[in-house]
Copies of this chain bind each other. A is one copy, B any other.
Amino acid sequence: MLLYESIAENILEMINNEKLPHGYQLETLEELAEHYQTSKNTIVRALENLEARGFIYQVRGSGSFVRRKKRNYHLNLLSNQGYRNSLRKFSSTSKFVKKEIMMAPEYVRRELDVESDEKIIYIERIRYIGNQSRTLSLEKSYYRQKIIKDIPVEAIESSIFAYIQDELGVEIGFSDVYLKADKLSKYDANLLELDVGDPVLIVEEVYHTKTGEPFDYTELVYNYQESFLYAQSSTYQD
C-alpha cells in the first residue's frame, strides 16, 4: 500500500471509530507531515483522497474537518464494489434466477461499445434484505464473456464483484450511472413481490475496468419500499 493511502486509511479508521467526531478539526498539514515523518505534499495527497471520498472537507486558511456521517441504511450509489459493500452494511442475500449466453442485443451493444457477434453472459438475480423476507432489488446484468470468462452460480448467490476481482483478477475502474423512476412491469413486479404499476427506482450502470474497457451493463430495479440511496459531491464539480 502506498504511503499516502496508508495515512488516509489510518485517519479514516479514527473517523470511523469516532475518535475523530463530526466537525473535528484535524491537525494541520505541517503537523501531520511531522507526525507521519513525511513531506507536506504527501499529506496533501492523503487528505485529498479522504476529501474525494466524502469523509472530510478542507477550508483554505482555516483547517481540515471531519464531515458528517451519511444516513444509515442507505446504499452508496457510486460505490464501485457492486453488491460487495452492501453485504457488510446490512445482512442481505441473493437468489439466482437465470443465466444465459447470448449475442449482444442492440441496446447492450451501445452501452458496452461492442460488435453484434460478441458473446454476453446474461444474469438475472434477486437481492433480499435479511433472510429472503423482504425483496430489495432485481438485477439484470450483461457481462462481456471476452473479459468475464464465466460466473458460477455460487458467485451469483453471494457476490459477483468479489468473484470478478478476487478470482478473475479483473480490476474495477470507473462507472457511468443513470437513474429514473418508472412503473413496475408485470415481470418485475412478480419477481419483487409487488404490484404492477407500483413505483420503481431504476438504475443503469456501466462498469469499466481500470484500463477503460466496459465489461458490465446492469439494470437494477429497486423495490421502492426498501431502497434508499445516497451519493456525495466534493468541492469540485461543474
Contact = CB atoms under 8 A, between A and B. Distances in A.
Interface in A61-79: 62, 65, 67-68, 70-71, 74, 76-79
Interface string A195-210: 0001111000000101
A23 to B, nearest CB: 8
Contacts of A116: none
Contacts of A210: 59, 235
Each complex incorporates copies of this chain amounting to 2
A68 B179 contact: no
A194 to B, nearest CB: 11
Nearest to A177: B231
Nearest to A176: B232
A96 interface: no
Nearest to A208: B57
Given A85-B238, A233-B80, A237-B78, A227 B173 contact: no
A82 to B, nearest CB: 11
The residue in A200, A230, A233, A234 that gathers the most chain B C-beta atoms within 10 A of its C-beta is A233
A234 B174 contact: yes
The residue in A54, A65, A198, A231 that gathers the most chain B C-beta atoms within 10 A of its C-beta is A231
A174 B56 CA distance: 10
A181 B233 contact: no
Given A70-B176, A180-B224, A181-B181, 9 more contacts: A67-B212, A68-B176, A80-B238, A174-B234, A176-B230, A178-B228, A179-B228, A179-B229, A180-B201
